[in-house]
Amino acid sequence: MKRWSLITVFGLVAALIFSFYGFSSVFAEDKNVPGGVIPKLPQTVNDPELTNGRVYPPWGPVCQRYSYSVIYRDKEGRPPEYMKMYFNGKMIDIEKQNPQERDYKKGVRYEYKYVPNKLGSNFYYFEASNGLGKARESIIDSPDNGPVLFESAFERNEVAVIDASTGQKILSFSTGKEWVGGIALSDDGKYLAAKTSQHVYLFDTAQPQKPIWQFTCEDCRIGDDVKGGVDISGDGAKIVAAIGQSILLFDKSNQNPLWRYTQAGNAYNVAISRDGNYLAAATAGEESNLNANLIILWGGTKKEPLWQYHASGNFHDVSLSDDGSFIAGSTGCPDRRAYLFSKDSNQPVIKTDPLTRDSPVHRAKISADGAFFAVGSEADRGAVFLFGKNSTSPVWKFSTKGNSSVRALNFTPDGKHIGAATFGGDAYIFSQASDQPLAGWKINASLGGIDIADDGSFIAAGGTDNQLHILKKDKSGDQEIGFSEFVEEIDISGNGKYVAAGTGGSVYFFETIKQNLDKVYPCTEVIEPPSEAEFMKQNEGRDELNGTREKSSGFFAAKNKWPGMLFGFGVLGSLVTLILYLAIKYINFLQPIKDRLRQINQNQSIKIFHLTHKKIILFLSAFTLLFLMLTIMSAFFNRPGLQSTKTEDLTGEPEKRIKNEEQSGNDGGQVQPVCGNSMCEPDFGETKENCAKDCSAGD
């Protein structure tokens, strides 16, 4: 047997540890980006720091001026040897915003201005070197993507209700610049709930001139992929909405919420059971924050949730069975799964394997009895999946043409039919019994919204052609209803008589819209956006400049976290070395190695240490214990709550607020009562007598 030296033994241990780390890094970087895989930079003690990488505005039309910017800092005040930006496969030099700035310890802002004349994605990140080390920003696993470009500035949005038999609009309500983030009709079509960027509305479709009531969130921003949502009970009595960073429950009689839940963060969607007894939210956020990326379930009219479940990826959708007994959800990167829950527990009944390679599972809808649920996945694994409640394997899977994204999907209550639409312009009706469509249509548009009639007889789909398409399964006569912007929110009343639709751009974020992709716009006039300072003032300095939620590290991410992963490898390395030493000591077939180590120990330069068996054991055990303690301390100091507190302290930025809402915190994070905030809060002593403006007869 070949004799190994002590150096060889330790080399093998180190190789084992770092090869594990290396493979993890490679897989984390394995994404489809221009130029292929971008290897990570080596880290040194002399690295500069890049922060606040972003593009402003984060979305908008072509022919508008966009600014990419980043802040360069160096702890020793060293200027950058170079300051570059990766932009769609090329490295370009970027310049100081103010050529006179030279305080590199404090930070100097660099920027690059760009006027796009074509639609499509723009991938970017920043890189700098001070001659001794390098740093990057706006890249974690892959470059950031922005701005999100549209042909339109989305200034003519609309909520409408269409008579399904005639194709005529019986209600048309302009929301102007506000995107429609959700619409929902009661079973009989009498009531319509709509959520826009800054409002929640309730309409009586028989009196379409104006809403019955409206709720205002004046500080909520316009334009985002995390759109919020709205849903209504079958009888129209209860409405749940996600707007800003709040979940709200309303009674149809009053715009003052029955309660407001403010600990959920931003939400992609909400749902309410047909009987109104259960409601749920699907939220976004950071993987490290245990109060983000949630499915939250509430029961009755109680504000406190029954339970919540945290995933590593954003929950993009949520759906409830008629009685609320079962809840379906779907997640984005890195989780990329479909889920089924029971109302009785936050432990999933079904948690599938990841359904895509590197893209979200965007839609999840459940049958009335909870026996089946369907999900739609995004490119590059675009597909429709049907699951039963008893298996993590799909009943069937339908892969879309060209793996086009399925961001629009819905289920009939009886679970017999599924309506789905793709960004490639294909719309389908499926039977529960087969993965082959019962009917299909090809539309020259990217389709971001769909619903299917409860009896499965027709679907309503909409997209980037600014049309609502009513498509009948028997092909007996399709209808097209025109809008001024992209159609993305669609709901068909339970009786099939009415179709509600809303326009906006949320569902089209971060997707390639193939129509007009090669068109070059002349840009004879360049649109100048409001200044970034004005934007930040309007949005109170919040992290609103980068739309991506899947991998954003946060606009004001906390810095200087303890290197917990490094300490963890120290634990692993010390422990493996200790085990290897004991194996050499006591296992007979390793005797040659033991003999070689004895010879090395007799070397004059090593002999002075008087290494004994006991000393080596104590030395390795002490190192293992030391690294273990440092790992535990890192976990403590890097915990999400503490880091978010540090971030707030550093930035001094206020949180989002609902109109007239008091923001002074108290124990438990509850909102203090304020008379005049449009909410009756009896739990805090508000009554009709002492706060009549909030506690009206409808409460």
Residue 323 is predicted with a pLDDT of 96
Residue 679 is predicted with a pLDDT of 45
Pick from 652, 644, 674, 650: which is nearest to 662 by CA? 674
CA 370 from chain center: how many Å? 26
**Which residue positions in the chain have pLDDT lower than 50?**
1-32, 35, 541-561, 640-674, 677-689, 692-699
Pairing of strands 123-129, 134-137: antiparallel
* Model confidence pLDDT, tens digit, residues 54-69: 999 999 999 999 999 9
H helical segments located in 495-601: 532-538, 564-586, 591-601
Give me the architecture of the 170-508 domain, per CATH.
Answer: 7 Propeller (2.130)
Say what the pTM is: 0.70
DSSP assignment string, 403-469: G----EEEE-TTSSEEEEE-TTSEEEEEETT-SS-SEEEE-SS-EEEEEE-TTSSEEEEEETTSEEE
Whether the upstream peptide bond of residue 380 has omega within 30° of 0, thus cis, is: yes
Residue 668 is predicted with a pLDDT of 35
Distance CA 281, CA 272 (A): 9
Residue 14 is predicted with a pLDDT of 43
Distance CA 124, CA 86 (A): 5
Q: Which two tokens stand for residue 625?
A: 């214990």
Give the 3-state secondary structure percentages of the chain, helix then strand then coil, rounded to 5: 15, 35, 50
Q: Which two tokens stand for residue 448?
A: 């971001």
Residue 605 is predicted with a pLDDT of 62
Residue 553 is predicted with a pLDDT of 32
CA-to-CA dists, residue 467 to 19, 448, 470, 481, angstroms: 54, 11, 10, 6
Q: Could you give the strand order of the β-sheet that contains 479-482, starting from the edge strand earlier in sequence?
A: 447-452, 458-463, 467-472, 479-482
The amino acid occupying position 388 is G
The amino acid occupying position 551 is K
Burial class (CB in 10 A: 0-12, 13-18, 19+), 192: buried
- Are 674 and 661 in contact by the 8 Å Cβ rule? The answer is yes
- Are 424 and 514 in contact by the 8 Å Cβ rule? The answer is yes
Distance CA 302, CA 280 (A): 12
CA 395 from chain center: how many Å? 27
Domain limits, the chain: 6-22+564-637, 33-147, 170-508, 669-699
Residue 558 is predicted with a pLDDT of 35
CATH class of 33-147: mainly beta
Classify 176 in phi/psi space as left (phi over 0), alpha (psi -120 to 50) or beta: left
Residue 98 is predicted with a pLDDT of 95
